[in-house]
């Protein structure tokens, strides 16, 4: 909650305020939204269409759909981008997440979780309100506004100083979510994880290139596409009474596997 309400908004403001506003502010969120929705559609076709998975419990299928679609694009994607490509490209993770992945998660993702779970219903209007009330999103808005209004250097320095707390806390949070106790059910999860770790970065590469993205920004977008399962999917699984142990397994296994699949996909695509 501290990261969500204080440190991440400050980080988003500092990164966006110091980034060059160009077409990436449109192409990155567009790519993120299309990759996420394509992953969800591919998983639905796989787990709802193929006879091998028709006997799977609905609570498990809901988790697998979310796992195939939503990546850990901020908690893990941000530190990976900043450490491999440089801090100046950290804003790509912010755009990818706050302008696309999280809004899709809190609308389409929550509707999916509600459909396959038994924890209650969700209102689309309430979901949109939740998206608009996200503090980090307002950090992005403030960062864009900072390009039109002179912002004292002390304010930018303070925001960047607060933002430095985000990455270590995020990495710690990822560690808290890792749970390997249910790995015996890994076979049913492997198709979803394959979609997330292999198909998603390829789609990110194809869509971003088609949108005119190139160079280091394209690399950052592909890194985001190759991220493992989102930690927040565990929260949705718990809220809507989906298969929580399976969700934890998908997060843990995909996170460990991503340290091997990410370099592989970057080598293949670049």
For residue 212, pLDDT beyond 90 = yes
pLDDT at 132: 77
For residue 177, pLDDT beyond 80 = no
Query: Which of the four pLDDT bands, split at 50, 70 and 90, describes residue 151?
Result: confident
pLDDT at 201: 98
Query: Which of the four pLDDT bands, split at 50, 70 and 90, describes residue 28?
Result: very high
For residue 248, pLDDT beyond 80 = yes
- Mean pLDDT of the region 213-226: 97
- Mean pLDDT of the region 35-60: 92
Instruction: Mean pLDDT check: name the lowest of 2-11, 33-42, 71-80, 173-182.
Output: 173-182
pLDDT at 119: 62
Q: What is the 3-state secondary structure (H, E, C) of the chain?
A: CHHHHHHHHHHHHHHHHHCCCCCHHHHHHHHHHHHHHHHHHHHHHHHHHCHHHCCCCHHHHHHHHHHHHCECCCCCHHHHHHHHCCHHHHHHHHHHHHHHHHHHHHHHHHHHHHHHCCCCCCCHHHHHHHHHCCHHHHHHHHHHHCCCCCCCHHHHHHHHHHHCCHHHHHHHHHHHHCCCCCHHHHHHHHHHHHHHHHHHHHHHHHHHHHCCCCHHHHHHHHHHHCCCECCHHHHHHHHCCCCHHHHHHHHHHHHHHHHHHHHHHHHHHC
pLDDT at 19: 84
pLDDT at 63: 95
For residue 16, pLDDT beyond 90 = no
Q: What is the pLDDT of residues 93-140, one digit of tens each?
A: 999 998 999 999 988 998 999 889 876 666 777 777 777 787 888 888
pLDDT at 211: 95
């Amino acid at each position: 909650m501290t990261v969500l309400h204080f440190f991440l908004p400050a980080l988003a403001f500092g990164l966006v305020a110091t980034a060059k506003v160009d077409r990436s502010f449109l192409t990155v969120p567009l790519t993120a939204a299309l990759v996420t929705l394509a992953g969800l559609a591919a998983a639905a076709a796989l787990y709802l269409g193929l006879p091998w998975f028709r006997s799977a419990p609905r609570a498990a299928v809901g988790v697998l759909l979310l796992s195939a679609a939503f990546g850990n694009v901020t908690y893990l994607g941000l530190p990976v981008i900043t450490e491999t490509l440089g801090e100046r490209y950290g804003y790509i993770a912010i755009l990818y997440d706050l302008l696309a992945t999280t809004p899709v998660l809190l609308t389409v993702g929550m509707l999916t979780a509600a459909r396959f779970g038994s924890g209650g219903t969700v209102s689309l209007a309430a979901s949109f309100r939740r998206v608009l009330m996200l503090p980090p999103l307002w950090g992005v808005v403030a960062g864009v506004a900072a390009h039109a209004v002179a912002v004292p250097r002390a304010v930018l320095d303070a925001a960047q100083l607060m933002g430095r707390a985000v990455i270590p806390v995020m990495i710690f949070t990822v560690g808290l979510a890792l749970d390997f106790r249910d790995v015996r059910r890994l076979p049913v999860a492997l198709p979803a994880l394959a979609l997330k770790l292999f198909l998603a970065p390829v789609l990110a590469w194809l869509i971003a290139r088609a949108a005119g993205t190139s160079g280091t920004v394209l690399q950052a977008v592909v890194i985001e596409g190759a991220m493992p399962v989102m930690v927040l999917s565990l929260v949705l699984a718990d809220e809507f009474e989906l298969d929580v142990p399976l969700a934890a397994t998908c997060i843990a296994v995909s996170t460990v596997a991503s340290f091997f699949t990410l370099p592989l996909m970057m080598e293949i695509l670049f």
